[in-house]
Amino acid sequence: MKRLLPLLLLSACMTEPQSPQTGEVSWEEARALFKACKVEYAYQDHQRNVLLTLFDGSTVTTVEPGLDDIFHTDALAPGCPEIAIITE
């Protein structure tokens, strides 16, 4: 729940990030990126597409298995910096 406030603030004032995409990964590979503390922020659309921006500036895309699965990533990344989650 600690991530809900940043989500509400960011979703109200941001549009989809316009970063060049550098690859597509599976949901399991995306989960591994969260566990490795490599994700700076994530953008989720209504079709379950997720764009992850990594701390090195690169981006990857994935498709979450179920809508809003992205909100469970805090359990994947204990001890990592807080991840901003943006949704449309």
Q: pLDDT tens digits, residue range 65-86?
A: 998 888 887 777 788 888 889 9
Q: Which CATH number covers residue 39?
A: 3.30.720.210
- pLDDT tens digits along 3-50: 544 444 444 444 444 444 479 999 999 999 999 999 999 999 999 999
State the total domains in the chain.
1
User: Residue 4: CB partners within 8 Å, gap ≥ 6?
Assistant: none
Range of the domain at 38: 4-87
Would you give the DSSP letter of residue 82? P
- What tokens appear for 43 in the block? 């953008």
Confidence of residue 56 (pLDDT cuts 50, 70, 90): very high
